């Protein structure tokens, strides 16, 4: 991961004033439970070393100026006319926090200079928009002196974006971002909207994120269809949400033979088993059964491939070849699917062997994969100059 430039210097060069505050929020990867956000299930997530940073200083007028340092792009708004504009793209995330926090906490709206910067790889489902929102929310908490606990901040940042974008977004990433710095996983409970921490794998286990570079068209329709398929099964097994998804046993889907199409049964089976895999993974880690943990993660990929059907030949090749190597604990698809990236957990001394294997991938498929060496994140924090 490339070193980010000094955001303090960038902000001062852009606006001729130093930031009042610079906040940073980590990216997030979901190892298990990625596609269960529409349920009251569980997700195993980790905050990562790539992060989004937001620098803010006050203005003397009512203008809002936004500068995306990585793209050298600029947007403008006014505190009296805050609304979603499609052409404002990334700036809408900042505006959502401004609008929500000023109204919810009855703060005095003031003109702002905002600089954003990110080391989060794009298009891999690592929660860059959530990180941007959380960094902005944390900056607001700081410059306005708000007394808000981390889980409450996550709720408000999530609510801000859901309200501004007029769609109910998953809260998973927001809660995962509140994990403290250090080697830890997060269990996100979607029923209670709470996070709890568990230990990460000890050294020498490390994470590697491999971008397959497979070009993807919009996958929204495909994912929406899978959610609809799952809901069709759940509506028969638990009419009117009479039972939690955690109470439904995968074998109960056998009763739907001939009642719902096999495709829908397979996709629902993945969701039911995936929620249980999170609990099984937590138990394995608590017993220091790391091989058992790896097997659970590998089963998740097999299920994403065969039951949920969101993998592709390139991703399957990357996973299979990784698992053939000594020193690799597990590998699986992460993100939305239909391309994207794999997450591999391996011993640090075997990374060079893994990188060498990727040369074969380019010869076979014609795509040059990109490897990101990642660690658990430094946490949600204020950057000192």
Q: Which two tokens stand for residue 128?
A: 């860059």
CA distance 56 to 64: 10
342 touches 315 (CB < 8 A): yes
Q: Residue 92, CB half-sphere, CA atoms under 13 Å: how many?
A: 15
Q: How far apart are CA 268 and CA 190, in angstroms?
A: 17
CATH of domain 7-200+377-382: 3.30.230.10
Q: Where do the domains of the chain lie? A: 7-200+377-382
Question: Model pTM greater than 0.85?
Answer: yes
Q: Are the C-beta atoms of residues 347 and 190 closer than 8 Å to each other?
A: no
Distance CA 121, CA 141 (A): 27
d(CA 215, CA 193): 34
Token digits for 261? 């199409």
In degrees and rounded to multiples of 5, residue 208 shows phi and psi of -130, 130
Cβ partners under 8 Å of residue 275, min gap 6 = 33, 36, 39, 41, 42, 245, 246
- What's the pLDDT score for residue 324? 96
Give the per-residue pLDDT at 2: 52
CA distances from 55 to 2, 76, 114, 228, 364 (A): 20, 16, 6, 40, 44
Beta-ladder partners of 64: 77, 112
Instruction: Kindly state the helix (H) or strand (E) to which residue 353 belongs, with its residue range.
Output: helix 351-365
Closest to 116 in 3D by CA, of 216, 228, 4, 201: 4
- Spatial distance between the Cα atoms of 227 and 232, rounded to a whole number of angstroms: 9
Q: Cβ distance 92 to 167 under 8 Å?
A: no
Alpha-carbon gap, residue 70 to 115, rounded angstroms = 10
pLDDT for position 385: 83
Residue 46 contacts residue 200 (beta carbons within 8 Å): yes
Series of mean pLDDT values for 10-residue runs along the chain (385 residues)? 82 97 98 94 96 97 97 95 92 97 96 97 94 98 96 97 94 97 95 95 94 90 96 93 91 90 96 97 97 98 98 98 97 96 97 94 95 94 92
């Amino acid at each position: 991961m490339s070193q980010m430039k000094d955001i303090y210097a960038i902000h001062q060069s852009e606006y001729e004033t130093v930031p009042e505050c610079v906040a940073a929020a980590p990216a997030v990867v979901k190892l298990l439970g990625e596609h269960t956000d529409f349920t009251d299930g569980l997700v195993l997530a980790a905050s990562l070393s790539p992060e989004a940073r937001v620098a803010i200083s006050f203005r003397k007028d009512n203008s809002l100026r936004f500068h995306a340092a990585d793209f050298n792009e600029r947007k403008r708004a006014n505190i009296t006319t805050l609304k979603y504009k499609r052409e404002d793209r990334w700036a809408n995330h900042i505006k959502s926090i401004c609008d929500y926090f000023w109204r919810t906490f009855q703060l005095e709206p003031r003109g702002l200079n905002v600089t954003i910067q990110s080391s989060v790889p794009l298009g891999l489902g690592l929660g860059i928009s959530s990180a941007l929102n959380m960094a902005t929310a944390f900056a607001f908490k700081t410059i306005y002196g708000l007394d808000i606990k981390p889980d409450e901040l996550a709720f408000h940042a999530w609510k801000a974006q859901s309200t501004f974008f007029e769609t109910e977004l998953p809260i998973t990433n927001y809660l995962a971002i509140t994990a403290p710095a250090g080697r830890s996983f997060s269990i996100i409970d979607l029923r209670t909207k709470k996070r709890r921490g568990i230990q990460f794998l000890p050294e020498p286990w490390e994470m590697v994120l491999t971008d397959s570079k497979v070009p993807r068209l919009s996958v929204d329709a495909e994912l929406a269809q899978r959610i609809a398929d799952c809901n069709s099964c759940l509506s028969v097994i638990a009419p009117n949400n009479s039972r939690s998804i955690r109470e439904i046993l995968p074998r109960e889907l056998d009763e739907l033979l001939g009642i719902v199409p096999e495709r829908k049964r397979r996709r629902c089976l993945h969701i039911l088993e995936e929620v249980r895999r999170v609990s099984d993974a937590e138990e394995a880690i608590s017993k220091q059964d790391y091989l058992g943990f790896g097997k659970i993660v590998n089963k998740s990929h097999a299920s994403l491939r065969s039951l949920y059907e969101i993998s592709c030949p390139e991703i399957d090749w990357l996973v299979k070849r990784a698992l053939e190597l000594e020193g690799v604990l597990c590998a699986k698809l992460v993100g939305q699917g239909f391309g994207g990236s794999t997450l591999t957990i391996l011993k640090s001394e075997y990374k060079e062997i893994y990188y060498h294997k990727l040369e074969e991938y380019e010869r076979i498929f014609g795509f040059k994969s990109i490897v990101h060496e990642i660690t658990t994140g430094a946490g949600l924090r204020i950057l000192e100059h």
